[in-house]
């Protein structure tokens, strides 16, 4: 295998700890950071903003 092979994705900063990402866990640097982010979603630490719609106001 040649040493000049270009990676599929260029490393980016890990969203959790700001280290460089790894190919196996992209965009995270490790499984630990990936699991930490997943836990944030499961525990409702992350929320997607939404606007409530009242069905009675749609007349």
Tell whether the model's pLDDT for residue 5 goes beyond 90: no
Tell whether the model's pLDDT for residue 17 goes beyond 70: yes
Q: What is the mean pLDDT of residues 23-28?
A: 93
Query: For the chain, what is the mean pLDDT?
Result: 86
Tell whether the model's pLDDT for residue 25 goes beyond 80: yes
Homologous superfamily of 9-44: Erythroid Transcription Factor GATA-1, subunit A (3.30.50.10)
Structural domain boundaries in the chain: 9-44
| pTM (whole model) above 0.75 | no
The DSSP-derived string for 8-52 is SS---B-TTT-SBP-STTTTSSSHHHHHHHHHHHHTT-S------
Burial class (CB in 10 A: 0-12, 13-18, 19+), 16: middle
State CA 39 to chain mean position distance: 11
Mention every residue, 6+ apart, whose C-beta is less than 8 A from residue 41.
none
């Amino acid at each position: 295998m040649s040493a000049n092979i270009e990676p599929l994705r260029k490393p980016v900063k890990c969203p959790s700890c700001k280290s460089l990402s790894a190919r196996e866990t992209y965009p995270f640097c490790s499984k630990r950071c990936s699991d930490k982010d997943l836990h944030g979603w499961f525990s409702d630490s992350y929320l997607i903003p939404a606007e409530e719609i009242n069905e009675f106001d749609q007349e």
